[in-house]
Amino acid sequence: MAEEILNKNMIEGQIKPINGMSEELLSVFYSLDRNDFMPEAMKEMSYVEKNIILKDKRTILKPSLIAQIALSINLKANENVLILGATTGYLSAILSNQAETVIVVEENEQLLNNSENAIKKNNINNVVFIKNEIVKGYNEQSPFNAIIIEGAIQEVPLNIIDQLDEEGRLFAIVQEGEICSAKLFKKNGRSISEQKLFNCSIPVLSMFIKKNSFSF
């Protein structure tokens, strides 16, 4: 019961005030307890309003950032989404209520197992976990309607853009100099549009540091 109250307070204080937040998306957050998705040693930090940095600069994204991602990517019921990096599986669970299929690529076995177990605990059956290098994406199941990179990058990888469907979109947090901002990239033929969404600050994923990249 205590977790239920804390989860509700988290949603009321951190997620509900986000501009444009819909009742439908809010109901998804109410239906899941963030505590279920946190590593055992970090349960007491389940509802805190900050990004939690793990080793190798992996990051458990704060609740409001998860909500902003879900809001920005705006999935439809018949769409598939690729998530690159699992950390806890919480984002995957949220998006499973919006998309037809969620495919998650994770190379860290412990993060993958924890995320997969949390998804199973919540009886979610449209999330598929793939153990693979994050930077490679998952070409075997492409094209995707949407792709999300769960962590910051320095430049947008061309091989990931290539895995988008026509009119597909990519959510990425891009570090440019000292500034880190969330952006939405949309594919239209061979052209890519770019929209800045909001500023944020998280570490750059090591596998996305200045390699295999494409600048607009």
Tokens of 131: 């153990």
> How many secondary structure helices (H) and strands (E) does the chain include?
6, 11
pTM score of the predicted model: 0.94
- Is residue 1 predicted with pLDDT exceeding 80? no
Residues pairing with 174 in the sheet: 153, 181
Per-residue model confidence as pLDDT tens digits over 24-53 = 999 999 999 999 999 999 999 999 999 999
Which tokens in the block code for residue 179? 């500034």
Whether 67 shows a pLDDT value over 60: the answer reads: yes
Q: Give per-residue pLDDT as tens, 98-156.
A: 999 999 999 999 999 999 999 999 999 999 999 999 999 999 999 999 999 999 999 98
Packing angle between helix 23-31 and helix 63-73, nearest 10 degrees? Answer: 130
Percent of the chain with pLDDT over 90: 87
Quick one: pLDDT at residue 167?
A: 93
Check residue 104 and report its DSSP letter. E
pLDDT digits (tens, 9 = 90+) for 111-125: 999 999 999 999 999
Cβ burial, residue 17 (10 Å; 0-12/13-18/19+): exposed
Hey, which CATH number is domain 2-214, 3.40.50.300, 3.30.870.10, 3.40.50.150, 3.30.565.10? Answer: 3.40.50.150
Alpha helices per DSSP H over 57-140: 63-73, 90-96, 109-121
Q: Please report, for the chain, the start and end positions of each structural domain, with discontinuous segments joined by +.
A: 2-214
Torsional sign, CA 84, 160, 107, 57: negative
When pLDDT is cut at 50, 70 and 90, the band that residue 211 belongs to is low
pLDDT at 212: 47
Q: What is the pLDDT of residues 77-103, one digit of tens each?
A: 999 999 999 999 999 999 999 999 999
- C-alpha 44/C-alpha 164 separation (Å) is 37
Q: How many CB atoms lie within 10 A of CB 55?
A: 6
Both tokens of residue 92? 């995957």
Segment 177-198, tens digit of pLDDT: 888 999 999 998 889 999 999 9
Residues 6+ apart with CB under 8 A from 161: 170, 185, 187, 192, 214
**How high is the pLDDT of residue 162?**
95
Q: How far apart are CA 161 and CA 213, in angstroms?
A: 10
